[in-house]
Chain A
Amino acid sequence: MNRKNQKSELIASLVSTIWFVILLFPFLVMKVNVTGGKAVVIFRWSYLPVIAISIFVLSFLWRRALEWNQHRGDKTPVRTPLSGIRDFIITALRRKPIKLGVMALLLLIVLAYPYVLGMYHTNIMITALIYVMLALGLNIVVGLGGLLNLGYAAFFAVGAYTYGLLWKYAGPAFISAGIDTGWLFWIALPSAGVIAVIFGILLSLPVLRLRGDYLAIITLAFGEMFRMVLQNSGPVTGGATGISLIPRPWLFGIRLPPRQAATYIYYIAIILVIFTIFVVRRIEDSRVGRALEAMREDEVACEAMGVDLVRNKMATFALGAFWAGIAGVLLAAQTTYINPDSFTLWESIMVLMAIVIGGTGSIPGAIGGALILKLLPEYFRPLAQYRMLIYGIAMIIIIIFKPDGLIPRNRKRYTFVEKSASDSVPGVQK
């Protein structure tokens, strides 16, 4: 960097410092206190130098980072020891025995998790796994189908309330008949999936004609209305207080103490997540999946190719809703308590953030995004009240520097591979 550049850098940082100091002055330095009906303003002058210096440094770093981000793609990659290691790992992973070994190791870590880290971390992980399922489900709707759904939490609520209401109304009958109430979970799990699918199809009917942001706002409206109905139909759903003392699933009729129950739910969640990943991957490669992708890219062209848009949109909502329903049952079983406040618009937004941060449409992205979004705030807890602020800042930094997400979707490309000199066979390359 030459002298002139340095000087202009300095001036730019100074200008943004002055701008931000003026911008933040009334909020950071001044503070209103209302005592006895009269507003009193106190000044916190000691904050001023701290703000000024930190903004100066941050604005310098921010511009450097933006510049670096812009030129990132320009240069040919420089071979550093680190990139050598990365290449080595990537080539090693392509080989089957090593791949299997890594998978086995991963499985071992996942299985040993509750025993090594204890109940607190297991419970956090269960919540994160529930989010992974939600993200994978929403990923079908938003990532594959391209339909922005902001009312996804409603399906989550459908699942949780299926289990909750089943417990509330069928539980006493089970107890008086002498049947283990632990079975309720296993009844609720498939029925929540089915009921959520029915809700998904019902929701898709009125919104078939809508596109883009209109779809987003109408799903938001449905989601919020569903929550309000739950909140205001007290006699049936318990209203704002919700349903409590929902039984945890029991293992073959044995009532587990909370610690083992958490481990058990953790394993159920792991199995369900693996099942979800398996199914979602199969969907992506199936006829329906390809039709959904075509629909996302261009509805008119897609229809012209003979894809039934109505059926596909319904399928998208139904598939997405299914996983939310299952995740809802898990949530009810883990927390043993549900109320409408767990299914607000923020919940839908969080799941959407998970898939966009991870990389829209990418399965590893959805998993990673959900884990980051759910685990980070938990481990930010020492930062107490600053945690949501830092969380928001982190979101913006990730999205600005990685607009396609952390693990962007690798689109399938079909290329011709020369098999021999005489004939060329089309091959698939991932």
Chain B
Amino acid sequence: MDYFIKLLLSGTAKGSIYALIALGYTMVYGIVKLINFAHGEVYMIGGFTALIVGGFLSTLGMSIPVVLLFSILASIIYSSAFGFTIERLAYRPLRNKSRLSALISAIGISMILQNFIMLAQTEKYLPFPSYLPDLPFLQPVREYINSTQFIILITTSFIMIILTIIIKFTRIGKAMRATSQDKQMAQLVGVNINQVISVTFVIGSSLAAIGGVLICSYMGQINYYIGFVAGIKAFVAAVLGGIGSIPGAVLGSFILGWTESLGTGFISSDYEDAYAFIILILILILKPDGILGKNQKQKV
């Protein structure tokens, strides 16, 4: 039972990081109907920014909390800037074209960013310093949850709440919901589509950046290739929950995290990545639109 709880908690931590990335996928998909293959790369950029800025600041001799704060801030700013630029350069010219073209453009961006980081930085795995503090009050429950996992959980829940508030109660959130329902109609009632799409990319990328910093601290290493696998996993999570649905992405991510951690713990670690796909196939066969996806009736 102890073992089970342990696995469940580590699955929850894993799932909350998937959620941070999956949210960006699902938001972009909900608004522009694009599978943003480059989203995983934005997350990798976030991790690298934190590593570089953090490394620079610690050589200046700043204290760890300051370094942590500034590196997270820098990684959010840079990831958002990258997300914004990618949309402007590679997706906007293709907005009214076939969706396959935009998909290829996204794959191209993903290749460019991976190779850019590989060439400009390094192709080796770099150790990622753990800036996250060790929380003393977690000492009694140490075997179940460590402080990195705890911080991940708290941060993710906090971000979910903020995101829900933004989408439900602010002006831009309303515009986003309108755009995702009907782009043309939203434009007719005065929503600035370009602005909404840019904001979506910025929010999605900031979430990915936070996810990047958290997961790199959790894993303790970083590499130019981490974005690809994480991106695929997050995409699976978003589809599981019903792509385009925000609570769906969160639910899908947790299911994915639990499945992976229980699967590797109880069955075998050879197939770690396969559990994600098995649960995906099972759920999509039973519910073709994902768990919380709208069952879209076809209209003629």
Contacts and interface: CB of A to CB of B under 8 A. Distances in A.
A34 B220 CA distance: 13
A70 B213 CA distance: 40
Nearest to B279: A221
Q: Taking each of B94, B243, B274, which has the highest tally of chain A beta carbons within 10 Å of its own beta carbon?
A: B274
Interface in B67-113: 74, 78, 81-82, 85, 89-90, 93-94, 97-98, 100-101, 103-105, 107-112
A20 B112 CA distance: 15
Contact of B56 (A41, A356, A400): A41
A66 B119 contact: no
Interface stretch (B47-55, B182-190, B259-267): B47-55
Nearest to B60: A41
Contacts of B112: 389, 392-393, 396
B288 A399 contact: no
A353 B281 contact: no
A139 to B, nearest CB: 12
A40 B93 contact: no
A214 interface: yes
A217 B278 CA distance: 12
A233 to B, nearest CB: 10
B221 to A, nearest CB: 10
B27 interface: no
Contacts of B173: none
A22 B16 CA distance: 31
Interface stretch (B136-144, B195-203, B231-239): B231-239
A152 to B, nearest CB: 14
Nearest to B49: A26
A84 interface: no
Q: Taking each of B51, B85, B90, B111, which has the highest tally of chain A beta carbons within 10 Å of its own beta carbon?
A: B111
Contacts of B281: 206, 218, 221-222, 225
B106 to A, nearest CB: 9
Given A356-B101, A389-B115, A393-B112, A221 B52 contact: no
Contact of B120 (A28, A299, A404): A28
Given A27-B117, A27-B120, A217 B235 contact: yes
B277 A221 contact: yes
Contacts of B126: 32, 34
Contacts of B285: 206, 209
Interface string A279-322: 00000000000000000001111001000000000000000000
A52 to B, nearest CB: 16
A204 to B, nearest CB: 13
Contacts of A83: none
A213 interface: yes
Interface residues of A, number: 59
Interface in B169-209: none
Residues of A contacting B: mostly: helix
A30 B49 CA distance: 10
B81 A23 contact: yes
B63 interface: no
Nearest to B298: A300
A225 B274 contact: yes
A32 B127 CA distance: 11
A385 B114 CA distance: 12
A41 B59 contact: yes
A399 B90 CA distance: 9
B35 interface: yes
Contacts of B74: 26
A291 B52 CA distance: 56
Contacts of B97: 403-404
Contacts of A30: 52, 56
A270 interface: no
A391 B101 contact: no
Given A26-B78, A213-B35, A360-B100, A395 B280 contact: no
A388 B271 contact: no
A246 B117 CA distance: 38
A31 B105 contact: no
Nearest to A209: B288
B90 A396 contact: yes
B300 A214 contact: no
Contacts of B59: 39-41
Interface in A21-61: 22-23, 26-28, 30-32, 34, 37, 39-41
B150 to A, nearest CB: 25
B105 A353 contact: no
A40 B122 CA distance: 14
B273 interface: yes
B270 to A, nearest CB: 5
A30 B54 CA distance: 12
Contact of A214 (B101, B117, B239): B239
B58 interface: yes
A9 interface: no
A194 interface: no
Contacts of A224: 273-274, 277
B101 A228 contact: no
Contacts of B108: 392-393, 395-396, 399
B105 A399 contact: yes
B105 A232 contact: no
B32 interface: no
Contact of B55 (A39, A210, A386): A39
Nearest to A205: B285
A216 interface: yes
Given A26-B78, A396-B109, A216 B35 contact: yes
Nearest to A27: B120
A357 interface: yes
Ranked 9 nearest A-B pairs via Cβ: A39-B55, A392-B111, A221-B277, A395-B108, A392-B112, A403-B97, A389-B115, A396-B108, A403-B101
Interface of A: 19-20, 22-23, 26-28, 30-32, 34, 37, 39-41, 66, 142, 148, 206, 209-211, 213-214, 216-218, 220-222, 224-225, 228, 232, 298-301, 304, 345, 349, 352-353, 356-357, 360, 385-386, 388-389, 391-393, 395-396, 399-400, 403-404
18 contacts: A22-B81, A26-B78, A27-B48, A34-B126, A40-B59, A213-B239, A216-B35, A218-B280, A220-B232, A224-B273, A353-B104, A389-B111, A392-B109, A396-B89, A396-B90, A396-B109, A400-B93, A400-B94
